[in-house]
C-alpha cells in the first residue's frame, strides 16, 4: 500500500478548501465564533478542520470511506489485521480491550503494576483480576515485567482465565519475553492483550524491543501521541489473529467513544502513521543516537546513574528501550521530586516524571543535542551543590496488598470515610496512586496496611502527586462498611 497517503487528512483539507457554509456543530464555525485571542493563537488552519462526522468525512463509529482507508493503512504499518483510531486516549483503548473479552465474573491475569485504566476496565466489566507480582529493581525501586514462569503458573492455576494482559514496554522501557508469553497463553486458547502505551515507536527499528504485533499478541493499545508524533489524547488499538472478534472490538470502542469525535485528533493519527511508516526507522535511530549521547555524558556526573540498557537477559528483563532515561539521583541526598523541581524552576527543563529516587526523561526525534546538553549541564550543576549531612534517600517499595473483594464489588459497596491514618485492616473502596505513572498503590477491594499508609504519607510529604482519593486533603479514605474482620 502507498503509505505516503493520508486519506482522512487529505479529505479534511479538501473540505476546508471548499469552504462550505456550516449549519452544524461545532458552534465556533471554523473559528468565526470563537474567542479571538484563542483563535489567533491556535490558527485558522486547525480550526478549519475541527469538524464532525458529516457525510464527506466518514464516521469513526462505522467507517467505510476515508477513515476506513486510513485505518487500513495504519494496520499495515503496524503489522495488524485491524486497527482502530481512539480519541479517548490510550485509556479508552485499554478499556476496550478488556471489555471486548471479559464479562462479569471472568478472570483476567494482569500484572499488579498496571495503569489505573486497566483497573477501571476491570470494575466496568466485573472481571476478577488474577494479579502477578512484577520483578522490582532493588536499586531504582521500579517495577519491571512479569516472568514467563509466573504467567505459566497462573494459567495452570486458572485455566478458565479469559485473557492475559502484559505491559510492553513498561513506563521505564523494560520488556519481558512477550513472544514466549504469547505462545504460552495461546497454547491455552487465551488471548494476550498488551498495554503498549509507551511503545508506539518500537515497531519501526530492529534495535528496539519486539512490538506486540510482531510477538503475535491479539490486541495492543498503542499510544501514538506519547512517542509516535500524533496529538495528545490520540491512540490506536491494533487487533490480529482469530481469537478476538474485531466486530466486538468496534462495538465496545464505539460505546466508549464520544459521538462528537475530534477530527483534529483523527487527522493527527493519519499523519503520524504516514511519518512512522515512511521515516519511523530514521526517527528511532535519531532517538537512539541522542539517548546514547546522553548516557555517555551522564555517566561522567558524580553520584548520578542511568538505568543501563545492557541489563542482561532474564525471565523478566528480556529487552530494553534505551530512549527512556531513568536517572537515579538517590546518592545526591535529594528526592527525584527535588531534582524535578530544581530542573523546572532553575533551568527551565521539564521531565516526564519523578519518584522518591529517580527522574524519567523521554528522548524522541523531536529532541536535539542542545536539549541533551542543557539537561546534562543542569544535572552536573545540581550534583555539584553541597549535600551537607543529608543521607541518601532510601528506596522504599510497599508490599502488594491482599485483594479481599473484587474491585467492582468494592467500588459499588456501601462505604464510609474514615481517617487514612487509622485505616489499617480495612478494605478500601477507592483508588490511591501517584500520577504519573498512574499505578495504584491501593485499589478498590484491597486491604489497607500500615505499610501502605506510611508509604502514602511519605509520597505526599515530599510533594509527589498522590491522586485518586475523593478527599483532596488525603486525610480521609473511603472504606467498605460492615465488613467482617480480616481473617474471620
Q: State pLDDT tens for residues 438-470.
A: 788 999 999 999 999 998 988 888 888 888 999
The model's confidence at residue 386, banded by pLDDT at 50, 70 and 90, is confident
Burial class (CB in 10 A: 0-12, 13-18, 19+), 362: buried
Query: Which of the two residues, 308 and 207, has the higher pLDDT score?
Result: 207
Residue 115 has pLDDT above 50, yes or no: yes
Residue 484 has pLDDT above 60, yes or no: no
Closest CA to 430 of 422, 102, 441, 79: 441
Residue 388 has pLDDT above 70, yes or no: no
> What pLDDT is attached to residue 462?
80
The model's confidence at residue 483, banded by pLDDT at 50, 70 and 90, is low
Residue 133 has pLDDT above 50, yes or no: yes
> What pLDDT is attached to residue 145?
85
Residue 70 has pLDDT above 80, yes or no: yes
Between vectors from CA 126 to CA 92 and to CA 469, what angle results, nearest 5°? 65
Residue 30 has pLDDT above 60, yes or no: yes
Q: Comparing 10-24, 174-188, 300-314, which segment has the lowest mean pLDDT? A: 300-314
Query: Which of the two residues, 268 and 474, has the higher pLDDT score?
Result: 268
- Phi and psi for 208 in degrees, rounded to 5? -95, 160
Residue 327 bridge partners (DSSP) = 306, 359
Q: Could you tell me which residues come within 8 angstroms of residue 308 by beta carbon, excluding any fewer than 6 positions away? A: none
Classify domain 281-383 by CATH number: 3.90.1150.10
Give DSSP secondary structure letters for 36-75.
HHHHHHH-HHHHHT-----GGG--TTS--SHHHHHHHHHH
Do 182 and 147 contact (CB within 8 A), yes or no?
Answer: no
Residue 137 has pLDDT above 50, yes or no: yes
Q: What is the domain partition of the chain in residue ranges?
A: 281-383, 407-480
CA count, 13 A, side-chain hemisphere, 172: 27
> What pLDDT is attached to residue 79?
98
Between the alpha carbon of residue 58 and those of residues 8, 305, 429, the distances in Å are 9, 50, 42
Residue 488 has pLDDT above 50, yes or no: no
Please give the CATH architecture assigned to the domain spanning 407-480: Alpha-Beta Complex (3.90)
Q: Show the beta-strand stretches assigned E in 179-282.
A: 192-196, 219-222, 235-239
Say whether 100 sits in a helix, a strand or coil: helix
Closest CA to 165 of 123, 440, 176: 176
Average pLDDT on 189-202 reads: 97
Average pLDDT on 79-95 reads: 97
Residue 249 has pLDDT above 70, yes or no: yes
Amino acid at each position: 500500500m502507498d503509505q505516503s497517503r493520508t486519506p482522512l487528512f487529505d479529505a479534511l483539507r479538501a473540505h476546508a478548501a471548499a469552504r462550505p457554509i456550516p449549519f452544524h456543530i461545532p458552534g465556533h464555525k471554523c473559528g468565526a465564533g470563537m474567542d479571538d485571542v484563542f483563535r489567533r493563537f491556535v490558527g485558522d488552519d486547525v480550526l478549519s478542520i475541527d469538524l464532525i462526522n458529516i457525510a464527506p468525512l466518514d464516521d469513526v463509529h462505522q467507517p467505510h470511506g476515508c477513515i476506513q482507508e486510513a485505518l487500513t493503512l495504519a494496520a499495515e504499518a503496524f503489522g495488524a489485521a485491524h486497527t482502530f483510531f481512539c480519541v479517548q486516549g490510550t485509556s479508552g483503548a485499554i478499556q476496550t480491550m478488556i471489555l471486548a473479552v471479559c464479562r462479569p465474573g471472568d478472570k483476567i491475569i494482569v500484572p499488579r503494576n498496571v495503569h489505573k485504566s486497566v483497573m477501571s476496565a476491570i470494575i466496568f466489566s466485573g472481571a476478577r483480576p488474577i494479579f502477578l507480582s512484577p520483578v522490582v529493581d532493588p536499586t531504582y525501586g521500579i517495577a519491571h515485567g512479569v516472568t514467563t514462569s509466573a504467567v505459566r503458573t497462573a494459567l495452570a492455576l486458572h485455566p478458565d482465565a479469559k485473557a492475559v494482559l502484559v505491559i510492553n514496554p513498561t513506563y521505564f522501557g523494560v520488556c519481558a519475553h512477550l513472544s514466549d508469553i504469547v505462545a504460552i497463553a495461546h497454547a491455552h486458547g487465551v488471548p494476550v492483550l498488551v498495554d503498549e502505551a509507551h511503545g508506539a515507536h518500537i515497531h519501526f527499528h530492529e534495535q528496539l524491543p519486539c512490538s506486540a504485533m510482531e510477538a503475535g499478541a491479539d490486541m495492543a493499545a498503542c499510544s501514538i501521541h506519547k512517542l509516535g508524533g500524533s496529538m495528545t489524547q490520540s491512540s490506536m488499538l491494533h487487533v490480529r489473529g482469530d481469537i478476538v472478534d474485531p466486530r466486538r472490538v468496534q462495538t465496545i470502542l464505539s460505546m466508549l467513544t464520544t459521538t462528537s469525535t475530534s477530527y483534529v485528533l483523527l487527522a493527527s493519527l493519519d499523519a503520524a502513521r504516514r511519518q512512522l511508516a515512511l521515516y519511523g526507522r530514521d526517527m528511532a535511530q535519531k532517538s537512539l543516537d541522542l539517548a546514547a549521547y546522553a548516557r555517555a555524558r551522564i555517566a561522567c556526573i558524580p553520584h548520578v546513574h542511568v538505568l543501563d540498557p545492557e541489563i542482561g537477559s532474564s525471565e523478566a528483563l528480556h529487552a530494553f528501550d534505551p530512549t527512556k532515561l531513568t536517572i537515579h539521583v538517590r546518592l545526591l541526598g535529594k528526592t527525584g521530586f527535588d531534582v524535578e523541581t530544581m530542573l523546572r524552576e532553575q533551568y527551565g527543563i521539564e521531565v516526564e516524571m519523578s519518584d522518591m529516587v529517580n527522574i524519567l526523561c523521554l528522548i524522541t526525534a523531536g529532541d536535539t543535542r542542545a536539549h541533551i546538553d542543557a539537561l546534562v549541564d543542569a544535572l552536573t550543576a545540581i550534583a555539584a551543590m553541597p549535600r551537607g549531612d543529608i543521607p541518601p534517600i532510601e528506596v522504599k517499595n510497599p508490599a502488594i496488598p491482599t485483594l479481599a473483594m473484587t474491585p467492582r464489588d468494592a467500588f459499588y459497596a456501601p462505604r464510609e470515610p474514615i481517617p487514612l491514618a487509622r485505616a489499617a485492616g480495612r478494605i478500601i473502596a477507592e483508588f490511591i496512586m501517584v500520577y504519573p505513572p498512574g499505578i495504584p498503590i491501593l485499589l478498590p477491594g484491597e486491604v489497607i496496611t500500615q505499610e501502605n499508609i506510611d508509604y502514602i504519607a511519605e509520597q505526599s510529604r515530599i510533594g509527589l502527586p498522590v491522586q485518586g482519593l475523593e478527599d483532596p486533603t488525603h486525610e480521609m479514605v473511603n472504606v467498605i462498611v460492615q465488613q467482617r474482620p480480616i481473617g474471620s
